Each structure stands twice: as structure tokens, then as C-alpha cells.
């Protein structure tokens, strides 16, 4: 078997925003897991840099707590945790002022990889970029990692790209979309491009439609004020769902290289047609006695922001012309589930008769929970009773199929951070891709704003507003049930 842990060279990683929620929840536990997996080299240095006034020990205590709270239970070996924490340091810094910068420049060691993780709000990206340059840390070998949201429309995304491009080359900028770091997403590419089986069928001639669902059970909770300025379209569709759509729809790249893959994704985004307003359903969750409504959570009784969206879109190119893509995402839904379903057309002629129960084939790609893929095939119902047909799943749940190897892989953040260290941008968004995605979303959002549309209410724990069901029913299709 090919080794699962590809070593990375010695690095200095500075996490701006190192005391924040994302650092505590994902980045630091992820680095700890990579350390346990043996991927973090001896001599690697992690510097938390944020506003809080802490010393190294105070920060290590915070990191320890974060790993205990958000890391895996089986990874809590005290001696190994202590050894990991030796790699960790802290520096109080002000992104908007000069405090801490000279000291940081001295901590950065020559002759190794330098990565700067901007785990702070986007309004600080420019400040950080400028000061990294000013204090001599923006050398040509360094990398910066930037978090979502990358802008809130085309204009602000362009502005951010411009600010970053003033100090860094595109090859140094890693725009994270953690969906791209998921095992199944990469497996989707492997299934498509390493097997001859699927690709000949992967087009409008054989695919009836494609569904992409990202359902969450959580509401907007404490993030209500932030979310209310964003909504499901900006927060989820423009980035995560569009990335999934691109990977499903793109042409095979000539090789699995960063620009080859991203060129193909960009072509998909550029081929997306404007969306007919009748093909968009927006929703807001209602209060249900126990839980608050979206408007309560957002702190605005008149909010018109959507916590749910479903839409139908089309890609105008030779491969996909005529095949609709239905996408939906929302909060406080029935279950937490991310899934892509490729629904193939019916066999051209049913030799077993209408009553046999023949169904179309489906390929289901589950991102969470239970990452894996299922191919729905039709077989004969065993036993007597004539030719009755049933659907059975050919199931490839990674944890089952691959045992420990399948369940124990790095999570999305871990994988992506190690890709940064390796200098591999394949799973990161390029500036033109992000702009093209906003270029498609902006007019859709402007449309409903101009029309003053009010999102439809939906029940907490449901599958979204009734109208979202109708969006498919009208076409004689239906959504897959949202379930754990």
C-alpha cells in the first residue's frame, strides 16, 4: 500500500487569530492529529498570533483545552500532547498596528517553509498582508491561507484579490474551502477519472439530473447578526455548493495539477446560466415552541435573509445542456447531511413490463455523515413470483470498505493545511474562480432584493419550505429524503 503519510518539510506556521473559534475548533486539533500521524516534522514551529495578551504557557493551556474539547477522544495521550505543545508558541499582535510585528519577524526562521494562516475577519486581510511585507516576511517562498468568506459580492472579492495581489503572487495564496478537503470530494475525482465505467455515462444523454444537498440541523445561533448580512446563498452556495457542482460537472483535466483542475472548474462556473426566478425557493425557519425562529436568532423581526435556499440551474455546454442541477442548503433541517446524487435516466426500453418495478440507477456521494458512495442498481427480487425488480445499493462506505484506513484519514482542515506546506494548490480556490462564482451569484441576489421577496417559512426539523418540494415535483422529480 502507498504510504498514507507524506512527510512535509520543516515549517513555521503563524496562525493570525490563533485564539479564535476556528483555530480552537479546527486548525489546532488538526495540527495535533497530523503530529500524532507523524506528519509534522521535528523542528516545526506553530505560532499563535492574536490580540489577547498571553504568554507561551497561557496559550499552550488554551491549545490543550481546545484539543481536549474538539480533538478525538482516542488522541488524548498526555505525553504526546505535551510533546506537541512544545512546538507551539504565542505572540500578542495587533493586525491594525505595529505591536508584535518586529518580534514576529525575528521568530521566523530562514531556510524553511513559512505559512501565514489568516484566521481573522476579511477586513484584516489587507492589514496583515501589508505588514508581512513591511516587516520582511512576505518573501517569495511564503504562503498565505485565507478563510471564507472571500468577499460578499463580486466587487468586494475583486477588492480582496487586489489587496492580496499587491503583496503576494497568486501561487502563494491558498483560499480555503474546507469542502474540497473532504475525502469523498477527492474520491469523486478518483471515481470519475480513474475508472472507465462512469465517464461515458457522465453527460446529458445518460444523466437525468443531479441533486446536491447540504443540510444542517443547527441554526444561526450566536452568529445571527453576522449571518443575517450573508444568508444561505452567500454563506454556502457561492462557495461550498458551487465547488461541489464544479467537481461533478467539470471536464477531465489533462492532469491532476492545480491549474489544470481549476481551469476546468472555472469553465463550469462560466457556463452556468442565469437562474430563472421561478426556479429559486428561499426560506426562513419558524419558531417551534422550544426553539427560536430565524428572525429571533438574527435579532431582526423583519429580516428578509434566507436560512434555506433551493434552486435549479443549468450548465450550457455540450456535456450538460438539458440536465438540470438542483441544489439546496439550509439550517435547522431534519438531519445533518451533505450528499450529491447523480440520477441516471431510465433504461431506454423496459423489457420486463411496467409492473416489474424497474428504477433508474443512482450514484450517491455522501460527504457527511458516513463518507462514502452508493451505486443504486436494479436486480431481480430473489425467489419465486416472476420477474419483480428491486433496487439494491452497491455500497462503498469508506469506513467499512477500507477498515481503519478508511475511517482514520485526516479531516478536511488537516489535509488542506498539509497541502499548504507541500505547496499544492489543487484543492484551493483560485482568485478568478471566486470572482466568477460571485459573478454568477450577484445577479441572483440582486434579483430577489429588487423584487422584495420574502422568504417562505419552514418548520424546524423539516426538509425546508413546501415550495422547495414543488420545485422538483413540477419537473416530475423528487428530492432524496434528508436523513442521517
Minimum Å gap between C-beta 193 and ligand NAD is 29
> At its nearest, how many Å lie between ligand NAD and the CB of residue 184?
19
389-to-207, 273, 372, 374 alpha-carbon distances in Å: 21, 38, 25, 18
CB contact at 8 A, 272 and 296: no
The contact set with ligand NAD (CB under 6 A) reads 17-23, 25, 50-52, 93-96, 119-122, 124, 147-149
What whole-number distance in Å separates Cα of residue 309 and Cα of residue 231? Answer: 9
Phi, psi torsion values for 380, nearest 5 degrees: -80, 135
Taking the complex as a whole, how short is the minimal distance between the CB of residue 71 and ligand NAD, in angstroms? Answer: 15
Helices (H), ranges, 91-237: 101-107, 125-134, 154-165, 183-194, 224-228, 231-232
For the CB of residue 446, give the shortest distance to ligand NAD in the complex, in Å: 23
Residue nearest to ligand NAD (CB): 20
**Active-site annotation holder among 114, 167, 240, 314:** 240
- Known catalytic membership, residue 279: no
H or E segment at 50? strand 45-50
Beta bridge partners of 195: none
Q: In terms of residues, how long is the chain?
A: 484
Q: Which is nearer to ligand NAD, 129 or 281 (CB)?
A: 129
What's the farthest any 2 CA atoms get from each other in the chain? 81
Shortest Å distance, C-beta 70 to ligand NAD: 11
Q: How many CA atoms lie within 13 Å of 181's alpha carbon, on the beta-carbon side? A: 22
Comparing CB distances to ligand NAD, the nearer of 66 and 327 is 66
Backbone angles phi, psi at 202, to 5 degrees: -85, 65
Of the two residues 95 and 363, which places its CB atom closer to ligand NAD in the complex? 95
Q: Of the two residues 147 and 433, which places its CB atom closer to ligand NAD in the complex?
A: 147
- Smallest separation (angstroms) from ligand NAD to the CB of 13: 15
d(CA 147, CA 379): 46
Distance (Å, rounded) from C-alpha 51 to C-alpha 10? Answer: 27
* Distance set, CA 337 to CA 135, 178, 181, 366, 463 (Å): 45, 16, 17, 8, 11
In eight-state DSSP terms, residue 142 is -
In whole angstroms, what is the distance from residue 210 CA to residue 320 CA?
10
- Return the number of the residue (208 or 228) whose C-beta is nearest ligand NAD: 228
Catalytic center residues: 240
Amino acid at each position: 500500500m502507498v504510504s498514507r503519510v507524506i512527510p512535509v518539510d520543516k515549517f513555521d506556521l503563524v496562525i493570525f487569530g490563533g485564539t479564535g473559534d476556528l483555530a480552537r475548533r479546527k486548525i489546532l486539533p488538526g495540527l495535533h492529529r497530523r503530529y500524532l500521524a507523524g506528519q509534522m516534522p521535528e523542528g516545526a514551529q506553530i505560532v499563535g498570533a492574536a490580540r489577547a495578551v498571553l504568554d507561551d504557557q497561557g496559550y499552550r493551556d488554551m491549545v490543550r483545552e481546545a484539543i481536549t474539547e474538539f480533538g478525538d477522544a482516542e488522541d488524548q495521550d498526555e505525553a504526546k500532547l505535551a510533546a506537541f505543545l512544545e512546538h507551539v508558541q504565542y505572540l500578542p499582535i495587533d493586525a491594525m498596528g505595529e505591536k508584535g510585528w518586529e518580534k514576529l519577524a525575528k521568530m521566523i526562521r530562514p531556510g524553511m517553509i513559512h505559512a501565514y494562516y489568516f484566521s481573522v475577519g476579511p477586513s484584516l486581510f489587507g492589514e496583515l498582508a501589508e505588514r508581512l511585507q513591511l516587516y520582511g516576511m512576505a518573501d517569495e517562498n511564503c504562503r498565505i491561507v485565507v478563510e471564507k468568506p472571500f468577499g460578499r459580492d463580486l466587487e468586494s472579492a475583486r477588492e480582496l484579490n487586489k489587496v492580496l495581489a499587491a503583496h503576494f503572487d497568486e501561487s502563494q495564496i491558498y483560499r480555503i474551502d474546507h469542502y474540497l478537503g473532504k475525502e469523498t470530494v477527492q474520491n469523486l475525482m478518483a471515481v470519475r477519472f480513474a475508472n472507465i465505467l462512469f465517464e461515458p455515462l457522465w453527460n446529458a444523454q445518460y444523466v437525468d439530473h443531479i441533486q446536491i444537498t447540504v443540510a444542517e440541523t443547527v441554526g444561526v445561533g450566536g452568529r445571527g447578526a453576522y449571518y443575517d448580512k450573508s444568508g444561505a446563498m452567500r454563506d454556502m452556495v457561492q462557495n461550498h455548493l458551487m465547488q461541489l457542482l464544479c467537481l461533478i460537472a467539470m471536464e477531465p483535466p489533462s492532469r491532476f495539477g492545480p491549474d489544470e483542475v481549476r481551469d476546468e472548474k472555472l469553465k463550469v462556473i462560466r457556463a452556468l446560466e442565469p437562474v430563472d426566478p421561478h426556479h429559486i425557493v428561499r426560506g426562513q425557519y419558524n419558531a417551534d415552541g422550544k426553539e427560536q425562529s430565524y428572525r429571533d436568532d438574527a435579532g431582526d423581526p423583519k429580516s428578509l435573509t434566507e436560512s434555506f435556499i433551493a434552486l435549479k440551474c443549468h450548465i450550457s455546454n455540450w456535456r450538460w445542456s438539458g440536465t438540470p442541477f438542483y441544489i439546496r442548503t439550509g439550517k435547522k433541517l431534519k438531519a445533518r447531511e451533505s450528499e450529491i446524487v447523480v440520477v441516471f435516466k431510465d433504461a431506454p426500453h423496459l423489457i420486463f413490463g411496467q409492473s416489474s418495478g424497474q428504477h433508474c440507477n443512482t450514484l450517491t456521494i455522501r460527504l457527511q455523515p458516513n463518507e462514502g458512495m452508493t451505486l443504486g442498481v436494479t436486480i431481480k427480487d430473489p425467489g419465486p413470483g416472476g420477474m419483480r425488480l428491486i433496487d439494491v445499493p452497491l455500497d462503498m462506505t469508506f469506513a467499512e470498505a477500507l477498515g481503519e484506513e478508511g475511517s482514520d484519514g485526516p479531516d478536511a482542515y488537516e489535509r488542506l493545511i498539509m497541502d499548504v506546506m507541500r505547496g499544492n494548490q489543487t484543492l484551493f480556490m483560485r482568485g478568478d474562480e471566486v470572482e466568477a462564482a460571485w459573478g454568477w451569484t450577484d445577479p441572483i441576489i440582486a434579483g430577489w432584493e429588487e423584487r422584495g421577496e420574502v422568504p417562505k417559512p419552514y418548520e424546524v426539523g423539516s426538509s425546508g419550505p413546501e415550495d422547495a418540494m414543488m420545485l422538483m415535483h413540477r419537473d416530475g422529480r423528487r428530492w432524496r429524503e434528508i436523513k442521517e
